[in-house]
Structure formats: structure tokens, C-alpha cells
Amino acid sequence: MVLSIDTFQHKSSYYIQKNILNEVYKYCKSFHQIIVVSDDGVPFSYMETLIKNLKNASYYIFPHGEKNKSPKTVTKLLDFLLQKEMNRDDLIIALGGGVVLDLVGFVASIFKRGISYYAIPTTLLAQVDCCIGGKTAIDYQQIKNAIGSFYVPNKIFIDSNVLNTLTKRQFNNGLFEIIKMGLIYDASLFNLIAEKNIIQNIDSIIEKAIKDKIDIVKKDPFDRNIRQILNYGHTLGHALESYYHFKHLLHGEAIAYGMLLETKQKDIQQKLCRIYKKIHFRLHKEIDSKQVLNFIKNDKKISGKYIVLPIIKEIGKCELIKITLDDFINSLGGHHYE
């Protein structure tokens, strides 16, 4: 399936199809030179599949991990592009998870004031989240996503076959963002995950999640209002990530806790818990939300003593409300999970 959208920058097309990796070369014929960038955690066989049919292609691989989403990796990659004498009519392709996409998108946006850019996301999180909306970023002085730009890939290729090499934990990491999407915006997506075999239905799940995010981003490309519903579960999730120094919890796992704690309705909480059980995510930590309050106070969504938050009305529907930080904190309380 192909989804084409007009963005504030240019037309952008999503090719969602098993084995599309083998066909990317067909969309690269007009470029003089191509650089594919990946990290060393992405199985090299994907790079081989991709470049075997590309003419004038070279690759650049940097070490995996969030700590390499850094200015140092950016300057090394820029040096490589200059050494290859890349020009504005050449193409850069990102092949990897969110770290690769965020960094390569950023470099594509600044190199010679913007170069053609394709994204091939290889984690579930990158397929349903990072490749939509054009946010690029690197971390700077230990501040996550401190530097970045809005730069939409010209084409995005989604091949669910590449997910087969992800660990279960990495797969679930992306799934939590999809569950969130179902909860805030798309009851049919939520029910699909809750009721059907997830692996057997992964293509429909990915397709729905991508369409939903595109829909939301279209309404608010620069993240000033409605797009903020995507932050559901993130206020507490981010605070938990900071509390655990980004070590014990993956981002999606922190959001999994955040969604439960921020959901007020008992029946929806129970449905979430049932999904977590189904995907073998064990909520073994007893989270005392009071412990993470100091981290909530640093949340970038806070302005003065107020915070703008998405609140679930029912599954698939939510709205943004502005409340005082104190009211938000008091509404959380402590939760205990089996």
C-alpha cells in the first residue's frame, strides 16, 4: 500500500509492504550518488539487500545506542558526506531505528541546507512513530533531543519482515506507542491489539497506526495543540525515565506505566493490564508516583503552575485539558500492580 501526504515541506510517500526493502532501488534511479546510513545494531543483511541493486551507493555505519545520537556522530557523518563530495541533488537514506532516523534526518536537513532524504525504519517504534511528522533531533549536553529540526523524508519504506530480528523487548517497546494510539484516537486499533493475534495482524496494526499518526500530524504539523494528545502517558513516563536515569526502562515501557497511572477509568486500566499480560510485559515494579514528582516538575509541557494534558474520555477518544500541576499530582496517587 502507498500513502501519499502533502506536508508543509513537500509530498511524502509511505510504501508499506513486506519485502519492499528489495525494491527501494526502483525509487532511487534519478540520484547521482546515494549514501545509506545505519548503526551497528541493525543486521547488516538489510544493508546488503538494500544496496545490492543501488548504483553509486556507499554506506556509513556508526555505533548503536542513544549516546551516539550526538554532535560527534553528526560531525563525523558530515565529514563523510563532504569527503564523498555529496551534493544537493544526491540522496541520503536512513536505515535503522529511531536513533538512526533522528540523526540522519537532522543531518539531511542541515547538509547544504537540505538534501533529499529517504527513511527505512527497522524497529517497530521507528515504523509507527519516528518516521512520521518530520521531527529530527540529536541529544546535546545530556539533554535529550536538545537540537533538531522539522524535516520530512521524501519517501518512507516500511517492511514488517525486518521486525523478525528485533528482541521481544524492542518489539514491545514500539507496541506500547501503538497501544497508546489506540487508546487516544482509534478504538478499532486498540481492539485489534486486545482481541486478535498481534503477530498475525502486524501489517494491519502498523498501517492503522501510521494512518492515525499522519492524521493527527496533518492537523497540527508544528506540535502546538492537537498533536499534544500523542503525549498521553508521557508526563509520568518521562519522569520515570529520568527517575531511573534512562537505564532500567525502555521508553515504551515507561509509557506503559505512564498510561496506566494517567488513566482514571478502572475498566480501561484493566483492559490495559490484560494487553500487557498478553504481550508478557510484567508490571513488577510498584511505582510510587510521589517518588517521581520532582521529575514531573521538569516536564517541558509545564508553563507556570499549569500543565496541558491529554485525558481519556473513552477508548479511542481523548481531549486536552489545562490543569494545575498540584491537581495533576494529587490525582495520581500510588498504584500497585500484580
Ligand X SMILES: NC(=O)c1ccc[n+]([C@@H]2O[C@H](COP(=O)([O-])OP(=O)(O)OC[C@H]3O[C@@H](n4cnc5c(N)ncnc54)[C@H](O)[C@@H]3O)[C@@H](O)[C@H]2O)c1
Which spans of this chain sit near ligand X (rule: CB under 6 A)? 39, 41-43, 64, 66, 69, 96-100, 102, 122-123, 125-126, 129-130, 133, 135, 145, 162, 165-166, 170, 173
Q: Which residues contact 143 (CB under 8 A, 6 or more apart)?
A: none
Task: Give the nearest distance from C-beta 193 to ligand X in angstroms.
Answer: 18
Backbone angles phi, psi at 28, to 5 degrees: -115, 5
Q: Which is nearer to ligand X, 49 or 173 (CB)?
A: 173
Q: Could you tell me the smallest distance in angstroms from the CB atom of residue 327 to ligand X?
A: 28
**The C-alpha cell of 222 is what?**
508544528
Residue 175 or residue 312: which is nearer to ligand X going by CB?
Answer: 175
Between 134 and 332, name the residue whose CB sits nearer to ligand X.
134
CA-based max dimension of the chain: 60
Q: Considering the complex, what minimum distance in angstroms separates the CB of residue 252 from ligand X?
A: 7
Distance CA 79, CA 101 (A): 18
Between 168-185 and 266-278, two packed helices, what is the crossing angle to 10 degrees? 150
Minimum CB–partner distance for residue 310 and ligand X (Å): 16
Tell me the helix, strand and coil percentages in the chain, rounded to 5: 50, 20, 30
Please say whether the beta carbons of 169 and 196 come within 8 A.
Answer: no
State in angstroms the smallest separation of the CB of 69 from ligand X.
5
Determine phi and psi for 168, rounding to 5 degrees: -55, -40
**The cell 497511572 sits on which residue?**
261
Identify which of residues 162 and 229 has a Cβ nearer to ligand X in the complex.
162
Phi, psi of 188 (to 5 degrees): -65, -35
CB of 261 to ligand X, least distance (A): 20
Q: How far is the CB of 290 from ligand X (least distance, A)?
A: 27
Q: Locate all alpha helices (DSSP H) within the chain, ordered by sequence.
A: 44-51, 71-83, 98-110, 124-125, 168-185, 187-195, 202-219, 234-243, 251-262, 266-278, 293-296, 325-332
Nearest residue (CB) to ligand X, 53 versus 165: 165
**Residue with Cβ nearer ligand X (206 or 332):** 206
| C-beta separation of 120 from 95 below 8 A | yes
Cβ distance to ligand X smaller for residue 30 or 141? 141
